[in-house]
Amino acid sequence: MSYNISEIVSNFCIEGNVAAIIPYGSGHINDTFHLKNANPGLPGYLLQRINHHVFENVPALMKNVQLVTDHLKEKLTGIPGSNPDKEVLTIVSAKDKQCFFCDETGNYWRMYCFLKDTKSYDMVLTEQQAYEGGKAFGKFQLLLSDLDSGLLYETIPGFHNITMRLDRLNKAVLDDPKNRIKDVLTELSFIIERADQMATIMNLGKEGKLPLRIIHNDTKFNNILLDMNDHEQCVIDLDTVMPGYVAYDFGDAIRTIINTAPEDEQDVTKIELNIPLFKAYAAGYFEYAGSFLSDTEVKSLSMGVLLIPYMQGVRFLTDYIEGDVYYKIHSPEHNLQRARAQFELLSKLEKNYDVFDQIIHNTAKKYIQITTEIK
Ligand code: ADP
Ligand code: GN1
Ligand code: MG
């Protein structure tokens, strides 16, 4: 799809003029463009078309983003040495003063200040990057811990509700709109074998043993901007910031950090676990999250490490069966390939469960006075 980006941009309050429009990033949902300023002394911008098929109420979503970014900025303002404008996204208003613009075809657009001299990584390369990532998401959860979660609109209902995800898969299997079930029987058996065990976190939540906190809900490593020295700078992609269990954020970050291969690796023999990166992420995370996590939450983190690749595989497979209606794909079997890669990762994680459970336990002990034995 091509858009008249200059026309869209003319509806936002920007300084200077746009010299270049560059498609940007590798997200699966929104379309992103980097706008370079003709005047190098003035800021660049990041323009995004928000996928309103995925996010059905964009005005409410943007209200969340405004609320969250205002809160983060206010909190950082009180911390010496912090720079809220670099460490938090800044929304650029549309000319009608709204924090988004809806064009005549019904597409929704938003703009942020472009944070220059930053990098996001699809694959983590060093322990320092992993450690900084852990700090970024730990700090994010800590800074949002005193924001009233009741103020946040649920941008995608049941986003990490595994029961709902499995129900949707089940419906897709029964409908089989593209006649693809015959190709995925092995994957379906893999899913069914683990379904009961994967409800553990939700059940602990229902029993009141895990608190709902404001979490990010999309802690892929490329949703952190690091500075040019690989220090964490800013958590981005705030569309799914909603109440959830901390294990979801931990599991999703580990899913992308620990894997030696890309999320959609076709040759699954390349999928191995990089345990030192896991350890480094946990160390960074506990530096901040250690101040608020309960014993049960600490224990739940290892379960999150298994749950999120499982749920992600279920989501990719469902989209494959439904005919690729949700995620952007770059080849006909892309979603199937992604699902298979997640399940391979999960198999490896299962075999190493005790190893990373112990790492979490040992890291937690440095920061938390554990009152009950968490193993
Ligand atoms: P998506 O929802 O499609 O994943 P993101 O909001 O994560 O979109 O943005 C896509 C990419 O754009 C990010 O991975 C990052 O590289 C870059 N990016 C996002 N926001 C900014 C920003 N404010 N400044 C600089 N780069 C950014
Ligand atoms: C999507 O937008 P992006 O690419 O950061 C998805 C996440 C998945 C991820 C898998 C709103 O994230 O939930 O974990 O793809 N976002 C949404 O790569 O569904
Ligand atoms: Mg993203």
**For residue 52, what are its two tokens?**
């309103």
For domain 5-116, the CATH superfamily is: Phosphorylase Kinase; domain 1 (3.30.200.20)
SS3 category, 143: helix
- Cα of 139 vs centre of ligand 2, distance in Å, is 21
Ligand 2 atom with minimal separation from the 256 CA: 18
C-beta separation of 243 from 215 below 8 A:
yes
What CATH number does the domain located at 127-374 have? 3.90.1200.10
Residues 6+ apart with CB under 8 A from 101: 8, 11, 12, 94, 108, 109, 110
Structure-token match 């404008």, residue found: 85
pLDDT at position 370: 53
Give 134-189 pLDDT, tens digit per residue.
999 999 999 999 999 999 999 999 999 999 999 999 999 999 999 999 999 999 99
**For residue 120, what are its two tokens?**
């996001």
To test ligand 2's pocket by mutation, which of 24, 26, 29, 52 has the most ligand atoms within 8 angstroms of CB?
29
How far is residue 167 CA from its own chain's centroid?
A: 22
pLDDT at position 369: 65
- Protein residue with least CA distance to atom 14, ligand 2: 218
**Amino acid (one-letter) located at 12:** F
pLDDT at position 37: 96
pLDDT at position 85: 97
CA distance linking residue 207 with residue 212, whole number of Å:
12
pLDDT digits (tens), the chain, 375 positions: 688 999 999 999 999 999 999 999 889 999 999 999 999 899 999 999 999 999 999 999 999 999 999 999 999 998 999 999 999 999 999 999 999 999 999 999 999 999 999 999 999 999 999 999 999 999 999 999 999 999 999 999 999 999 999 999 999 999 999 999 999 999 999 999 999 999 999 999 999 999 999 999 999 999 999 999 999 999 999 999 999 999 999 999 999 999 999 999 999 999 999 999 999 999 999 999 999 999 999 999 999 999 999 999 999 999 999 999 999 999 999 999 999 999 999 999 999 999 999 999 999 999 876 554 433
108-113/101-102 β-pairing: antiparallel
pLDDT at position 70: 98
Which residues sit with Cβ closer than 5 angstroms to ligand 3, an ion?
A: 27, 223, 237
Give 292-316 pLDDT, tens digit per residue.
999 999 999 999 999 999 999 999 9
C-alpha distance across the termini of the chain, in Å: 51
Which residues lie with the beta carbon below 6 Å from any ligand 1 atom?
24-25, 27, 29-30, 32, 46, 89, 112, 114-115, 118, 120, 222-223, 225, 236-237
Ligand 1 atom with minimal separation from the 114 CA: 24
pLDDT at position 374: 39
Q: What residues does each domain of the chain span? A: 5-116, 127-374
261 lines ligand 2 (CB under 6 A): no
Residues 6+ apart with CB under 8 A from 204: 210, 245, 296, 300
CA distance linking residue 317 with residue 321, whole number of Å:
6
DSSP for 203-247?
Answer: HHHHTT-S--EEE-S---GGGEEEETTS-EEEE---TT-EEE-HH
C-beta separation of 53 from 61 below 8 A:
no
pLDDT at position 367: 87
DSSP for 24-45?
Answer: ----SSSEEEEEEESSTTSPPE
pLDDT at position 26: 87
